[in-house]
Amino acid sequence: MQLSHSEFALAPAAERRRFVLQARPATLDVAARALGLGDTFAMLAAAAAGAVTALRLGPQEVLLLLDPAGADDGLSALRAGLAGVAHSLVEVSDRQVGLDLSGALVEAALASLTSIDVAVAAFPVGMATRTLLGKADGVLWRTAPDRFRLEVWRSFAPYLSGLLDEAARDAVF
């Protein structure tokens, strides 16, 4: 699952531990502070500090991506901050895989899969959202003007890789 054309590349993302954090919005604010990520997780945005990146995917849902090296510290801080407060923290490290998409054709390739506008004006760096890509769900996070992280459930990765590869080839014409 490593594809590369001159203007489009798809590669496995760096190893991350993953957790889905769900709670009422006020509790998520508490979590943001516990993780040192500000006073709140902005909707559809990524926030990062230290080993922890948080993607706010819904009013009650945050996807946490943790560098394995600092993951335990982050989790401890989070658990301490949320002790006694109703929430759900579920590990999904193996549920999904991360793919790094990059290159000049990355927008065109994604535009053949998702109905979301992926132009940088509409989907700026730092934005993250779940969307439908072809017939598979995925979380799309723009990490640079020409770079996206795609988080997909494990069994959908070959399908999405194949689709992106074909879309990128077509985008040349």
Judged by CB, which is closer to another protein: 40, or 159? 159
Three-class secondary structure of residue 100 per DSSP:
strand
Query: Can you tell me the distance from the alpha carbon of 171 to that of 23, in angstroms, rounded to the nearest whole number?
Result: 41
CB 136, min distance to another protein, A: 5
Smallest gap from Cβ 57 to another protein, in A, equals 6
Which SS3 state, helix, strand or coil, does residue 60 take? coil
Alpha carbons 69 and 23: distance in angstroms, whole number: 26
Distance between CA atoms of residues 74 and 137, nearest Å: 27
CA pair distance 89, 78, nearest whole angstrom = 10
Nearer CB in complex with another protein: 50/111: 111
Nearer of residues 51 and 171 to another protein, judged by Cβ: 171
**Which chain residues interact with another protein by CB under 8 A?**
20, 22-24, 43-44, 57-61, 86-96, 108, 111-112, 114-117, 119, 122, 129-132, 134-137, 153-156, 158-160, 162-163, 166-167, 169-173
How many CB atoms are located within 10 Å of the residue 30 CB? 18
Q: Which is nearer to another protein, 37 or 171 (CB)?
A: 171
Smallest distance, another protein to C-beta of residue 36, A: 23
Minimum separation from the CB atom of position 117 to another protein (A): 4
Cα–Cα distance measured from residue 98 to residue 63, given in angstroms and rounded to the nearest whole number: 13
